[in-house]
């Protein structure tokens, strides 16, 4: 079993929909939780960064962490075609030297 599990998709939604992307993990030492966005044939770029449990909002994006369930989510409101990309969750322990990534979920937002 992988340390971080993520549904690979693809997830296809109409423009304007609310999107929910999720990851589960098994290592209770993880304290920092990230979402990276990767456009086709590009390198990943950091989208959201959270520490421990709780919610964090940035514009149309909300990251949610539930450490008791070992479950993290990314919500995208009013999704746009430009949101079409692969979304990777990543997490690290307190030392923060290494990240463990999920397999990525491919999202397609159709006009």
The CB-of-19 to other proteins minimum distance in angstroms stands at: 19
Q: What is the contact surface with other proteins in residues (CB under 8 A)?
A: 4, 6, 8, 32, 41-46, 49, 51, 88, 90, 92, 96-99, 101-104
- Least Å distance, CB 104 to other proteins, is 6
Q: DSSP string covering 47-96, please?
A: EEEEESSEEEEETTEEEEEETTTTEEEEEESS--GGG-EEEEEEEE-TT-
Nearer to other proteins, 17 or 84 (CB): 84
DSSP-derived secondary structure letter, 97: S
């Amino acid at each position: 079993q992988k340390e971080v599990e993520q549904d690979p998709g693809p997830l296809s939604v109409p423009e304007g929909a609310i999107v929910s992307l999720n990851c589960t993990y098994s290592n209770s030492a993880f304290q920092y939780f990230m979402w990276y966005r990767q456009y086709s044939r590009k390198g990943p770029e950091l989208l959201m960064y959270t520490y421990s449990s709780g919610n964090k909002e940035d514009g149309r994006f909300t990251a949610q962490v539930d450490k008791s369930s070992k479950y993290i989510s990314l919500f995208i409101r009013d999704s746009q075609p430009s949101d079409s990309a692969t979304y990777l969750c990543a997490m690290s322990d307190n030392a923060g030297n290494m990240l463990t990534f999920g397999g990525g979920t491919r999202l397609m937002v159709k006009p």
